[in-house]
Chains A and B, each alone.
Chain A
Amino acid sequence: MLTGDRVGEGARDGGRAGLLLDWSFTAAELPQLRLLVEEHAARAGLGARRRGEFVFAVSEIATNAVEHAGGRGRLRLRRIAGELECQVADAGPGFTEAVIPELAPGVDGDGRGGRGLWLARMVTDRLTVEDGAPGAVVTVAVKLPG
């Protein structure tokens, strides 16, 4: 079921400006997470191709949190300044952008999530990794049309 915390687009309280979705997730909820992000991306005006790329990127960083950072994460989806932005925070050991390969990682990848993050960076307009103390916060964003 879609049980994520849907937040009205007009929410403006306490740093929640533009917040569309705030959801703590586990592995079992990844399909629902993708569905919610896809729905909000459609509302935001992303076309089918760009929407698919954004959903892919969000799913890869959420999967990374589930697989390598304690089995769960927290997703915040926001619409800000002409962008759709998604943050995934985890409580794992933390990592930096150094885990993301500079060049295409190839079919065997590195087994530590770098391949998924490399692809997520490739199909979005912005990807950053920050110290979440504890864990890491990965942010991806795409520009919204016109």
Chain B
Amino acid sequence: MPERPESSTTGSEIPVQRMRPGDHAFVSYGDDEGRWDVLTAFTWLGLAGGERVIVFADPGVPRDDVLARLGADSPELADALGRGQLVLSSMRELIQPERNFTATRQQARLVEETDRAVGDGYRALRAYIDMHWVPALGTDVSAMIDRETHADHLFTDRPYSEICAYDRRWFDDAVLEAMRRAHPCNLLEYVGALHAEHTSGVVRFAGEADLATRERFTAAVAVAMAAARGHALTVDLTHLHFLSAGCAGDLLRAAAAVSGPARVDIRCSPFQAGLLRNLGARETVRLVLSETGAGC
């Protein structure tokens, strides 16, 4: 499994499965695997959840290729296209009859499309926007940056979510870093990826802790335990979309091995808390489970 480059982090990393209405997310890709992985997951989970999905793919990729990547032979996909739940569009089409991009025009159209989706009976609208539209429309990158940093009204208390996907082979590093910081959410680049972030007294996980990522998960827990040096440690699992029994067991064993009076506080979903209790969390006296409503 390719790993996301370990640049500086913002504490806002989430897996694509956690995208919800109101989320505005950045993702970057450096190859076709990452490019299609997130798009496919975002699309199918949106359709299954009763949302309308609009895909603004790279204008350089033919429509049939996009459909093939999404699963062109699937009857569900054909049904979704037929009833208008899934729409393949382009930025040029969205802003018509205007020919030049303006943030005002684009955002007004997205508001219209969101309202239309809800009016048509869908739970929300989600849009995947490959940022290759910027060169395709001859738009200045500064106009794109302005749009991306002034878009809160599209999302606040609105049934709309959006992924902005940046090709690292086209956008320069400074723009990518600025855009990553400008978005409230940063998506992990691949389905199945695990992200571990260490800050003082806290290790925060996002993604999936399973057979493939178990070694990294366990190593990150061990690093955090060692760095805590007997002081309290928080292990934040709330952005883990999947926690396997094996990884949960490793976490409990590591917590049980901590010496001294310091406690280990595990922030987790109710399901994760149940899993940890079933595996014997109560036997570890220094362990405290703090349940949040988030997650599954």
Contact = CB atoms under 8 A, between A and B. Distances in A.
A88 to B, nearest CB: 14
B224 to A, nearest CB: 18
A28 B1 contact: yes
Q: Taking each of A31, A39, A60, A108, which has the highest tally of chain B beta carbons within 10 Å of its own beta carbon?
A: A31
A67 to B, nearest CB: 7
B296 A52 contact: yes
B292 to A, nearest CB: 13
A41 B75 CA distance: 17
Contact of A38 (B45, B69, B271, B278): B45
Contacts of B155: none
B278 A27 contact: no
A107 B211 contact: no
Bin the interface of chain B by size: 35 or more
B212 A106 contact: no
B199 interface: no
Interface stretch (B35-43, B57-65, B110-118, B165-173): B35-43
Q: Taking each of A32, A39, A67, A116, which has the highest tally of chain B beta carbons within 10 Å of its own beta carbon?
A: A39
A35 B45 CA distance: 8
Interface stretch (B83-91, B97-105, B244-252): B244-252
Nearest to B50: A42
A134 interface: no
Nearest to A41: B48
A1 B69 contact: yes
A2 B244 contact: no
Contact of A49 (B191, B256, B283, B296): B296
Interface in B277-296: 278-280, 283, 295-296
A63 B271 contact: no
Interface in A126-146: none
B217 to A, nearest CB: 14
A51 B212 CA distance: 22
Contacts of A55: 242, 296
A112 interface: no
Given A6-B71, A8-B76, A107-B279, A35 B271 contact: no
A42 B242 contact: no
Given A1-B36, A39-B45, A67-B211, A122 B246 contact: no
Given A6-B75, A108-B249, A115-B245, A39 B211 contact: no
A99 interface: no
28 contacts: A1-B33, A1-B37, A2-B41, A6-B73, A31-B191, A31-B192, A35-B191, A39-B48, A40-B48, A49-B296, A51-B296, A53-B271, A56-B242, A59-B244, A60-B245, A63-B210, A63-B211, A66-B211, A104-B279, A106-B279, A107-B249, A107-B280, A109-B249, A116-B244, A116-B246, A119-B245, A119-B278, A122-B278
Closest 7 CB pairs of A and B: A31-B192, A52-B296, A8-B75, A42-B48, A107-B280, A6-B74, A39-B48
Given A31-B208, A31-B210, 12 more contacts: A6-B71, A6-B76, A36-B44, A39-B47, A42-B49, A55-B242, A67-B211, A104-B279, A107-B279, A115-B245, A116-B245, A116-B246
